[in-house]
Amino acid sequence: MQIYDLIQKTRRLMPLSEREIQMLVEGFTNGEVPDYMMSAWLMAVCCQGLTTAETTALTLAMLDSGDRLDLSSLGAPTVDKHSTGGIGDKTTILVAPIVAACGGIVPKMSGRGLGFTGGTIDKFESIPGFTVNLPHTAFLRILEEVGCCVIAQSGDLTPADKKMYALRNLTATVDSIPLICSSIMCKKLALGADCILLDVKYGSGAFMKTADEAAVLADLMVEVGKQAGRNCRALITDMNAPLGACVGNALEVEEAIRILRGESRGRLTELSLALAAQMLVMLGKGDIVECRQFAEDALTSGRALERLAAMITAQGGDASVTEDLSKMPHAAVQLTVRAPENGYITEIQSEEVGLACLGLGAGRTAYQEEIDPGAGVEFSRFVGDEAVKGEPLFTVYGKTEALCEAAAQRILQAITITENPAEPVKLIYKIVE
């Protein structure tokens, strides 16, 4: 069958067979299907969608395009956590060591940031000496000794996804639920963890703008995971405001360390504990109440901080940053913006904050671009807090005064201050099991 026929079938809402999808993905990966034809099919998917069976077949075809990691030598169940991306989302830095401190094993393969959403790999690489490019033997050894390890995607894993994502990014076909699902789940399945917890974001700083859209994506990913034989569940969480006080790579690592040291607490801490508890339940450590207490104890006792330090050391980094944050990279210029009026902060538009940080150099518009690890913003007041005229609202960090001033103006315009406080926003909208 010709690729032209497959494009026509998808356009006409005629489901493709598993073999047809396999042929399409294989042909594109080995260069037999040209970019322009795959682009046409991707656009047809964006416009018409795919069935659950087609999405599962696409995921498995992308999975079969490369290698898979084998974690069976660890001799214990493993759990992976994935977030669909957001502004200030640094939960992996907290969740992985918390679960490891409770006896879990957390293999984590993450990506770099692209656009206004941050990448977990960039955050960890802001720690001096930390390496994310490890051979499989070292990955397994660290998991066995420490309980958690974060690596970058290997060149041999899911090559079809790499080619397809690059094409989607150029052809405005990123925001398709079946394509997002397949891209995420093929990488999760390739990693080889027994259990997969998904943190599906919705709001102004996420791909999914509404809770209903996020629920559709969450349901689909959980079903695909189930069809692939994995224990999979999802939390649908709010991303209408940045998660935590900091946005920016080194700044977010510092914030996570302060939480692990017991120096601060808030929505970021609560979400991280909720995610960790779900992961421990999936590993069979107890019911949700017991596992939440296990996670809380690991955090407050300092055991989770010790695990993070051990992981940093094992991956070549300077673990003394957990004791001395001055060893983290810092921006040359900082600019503090003060509240222009009295009132209550009722909104901080996450996407605008992310775009402002992108302008500072904290993100990238192409994978090969360098980033400024010290750039970003730290909020002194957050949604629900009272703003007092003349007191600090946030501080911007960057390479030059001009960059900081431009970012500060954009972030200030993203903050809404009103006379009356806003209704509290629910952190977790729904759990999909």
161 is known as an active-site residue: yes
Q: Which of 80, 122, 161, 219 is catalytic?
A: 161
Q: Which of 83, 110, 126, 183 is catalytic?
A: 183
187 is known as an active-site residue: yes
Q: Which of 9, 163, 187, 381 is catalytic?
A: 187
136 is known as an active-site residue: no
183 is known as an active-site residue: yes
Q: Which of 9, 82, 201, 292 is catalytic?
A: 82
330 is known as an active-site residue: no
User: What is the SS3 assignment for the chain?
Assistant: CCHHHHHHHHHCCCCCCHHHHHHHHHHHHCCCCCHHHHHHHHHHHHHHCCCHHHHHHHHHHHHCCCECCCCHHHCCCCEEEEECCCCCCCHHHHHHHHHHHCCCCEEEEECCCEECECCHHHHHHCCCCCCCCCCHHHHHHHHHHCCEEEEECCCCECHHHHHHHHHHHHCCCCCCHHHHHHHHHHHHHHHCCCEEEEEEEECCCCCECCHHHHHHHHHHHHHHHHHCCCEEEEEEEECCCCCCCEECHHHHHHHHHHHHCCCCCCHHHHHHHHHHHHHHHHCCCCCHHHHHHHHHHHHHCCHHHHHHHHHHHHCCCCHHHHCCHHHCCCCCEEEEEECCCCEEEEEECHHHHHHHHHHHCCCECCCCCCCCCCCEEEECCCCCCEECCCCEEEEEEECCHHHHHHHHHHHHHCEEEECCCCCCCCCEEEEEC
Q: Which of 168, 230, 233, 285 is catalytic?
A: 168
Q: Which residues are catalytic?
A: 82, 161, 168, 183, 187
